[in-house]
Amino acid sequence: MRYASLGSGSRGNATLVESATTCVMIDCGFNHKQTLLRLERLGKKPADITAICLTHEHGDHIAGVKLFSKRYGTPVYMTQGTANALEDIQSSVLINAGDVLDFGELEITSVAVSHDAAEPCQYVIRENHQRLGLLTDIGYACEAVLNAYQDCDAMILEANYDNALLDSGPYPESVKARIAGDRGHLSNEQSLALVKALQFENVHALAIAHVSEKNNHRETITSLFRQHFGKDVEKMDFVCQQRGMPWRTLA
């Protein structure tokens, strides 16, 4: 299994996960032109995409999905809550949290999460005995989430905001409360606590994603995560909003 990102953040999100015969895109949050450019940068064409799995209906996760599905006939998997917020999606497939989706060598399990969307989910992807956990856009990790993400070999994990930067930042108080609430996003401290709770030690296979451009800094995250990973923290990946993340391989 290998995986890459087209980009992650408030201006667009999309992740590719690939086996020998299958390539699934999780979310399609860039406009059509940007999606094609970013796919090309990763050596992929629209015809290579087996399916799209949506996490929720927010614009930074679904901006390009309607046109992509219509133009290329790509099936789009989503919960009923997400589907209710969208219209005119061709080849849509409804799923429930907990469903296991079979895409050739890839087995993708949807996991219900707490976020300010209609029926949000995230995904754990398995090929043989290897597991990749994708976990962004979540206000807090409940016991069911902790159980679902135990023993992942690699993770793409949200560290959205720094508490002090959010508190002193330009957002209205209502927006700050939403971001920091149980249906918002993970702070740096919450993200690190989750890493510790999962006993995730492989810093080479940890990618930090959905980092706020206004309420966080890479250096702030690195400094905090150094508490867990020590000097090896410099080997941790960061998924860039503009450049995404190149292919990483789970061997």
Average pLDDT over residues 31-47: 98
**Between vectors from CA 13 to CA 8 and to CA 18, what angle results, nearest 5°?**
100
The pLDDT value given to residue 1? 97
pLDDT of 139 over the 90 cut = yes
Sign of the Cα pseudo-torsion (138, 140, 144, 146, in order): positive
Dist CA 110 CA 100 (whole Å): 7
Residue 11's pLDDT band (cuts 50, 70, 90): very high
**Between vectors from CA 65 to CA 64 and to CA 68, what angle results, nearest 5°?**
85
Average pLDDT over residues 102-125: 97
Of residues 195, 143, 136, 125, the one with CA closest to residue 161: 136
Average pLDDT over residues 219-240: 97
Domain range list for the chain: 2-249
Residue 234, strand partner residues: none
pLDDT of 90 over the 80 cut = no
Residue 89's pLDDT band (cuts 50, 70, 90): confident
Backbone angles phi, psi at 228, to 5 degrees: -95, -40
pLDDT of 251 over the 80 cut = no
Q: Which helix (H) or strand (E) holds 43?
A: none
How much of the chain exceeds pLDDT 90, in percent?
Answer: 97
Percent helix / strand / coil, the chain, rounded to 5: 30, 30, 40
pLDDT of 7 over the 90 cut = yes
The label of the residue with tokens 């990749």 reads: 132
The pLDDT value given to residue 172? 96
How much of the chain exceeds pLDDT 70, in percent?
Answer: 100
The amino acid present at 69, given as its one-letter code, is: S
Q: Rg (Cα) of the chain, in Å, rounded?
A: 17
- Under CATH, which architecture does the 2-249 domain have? 4-Layer Sandwich (3.60)
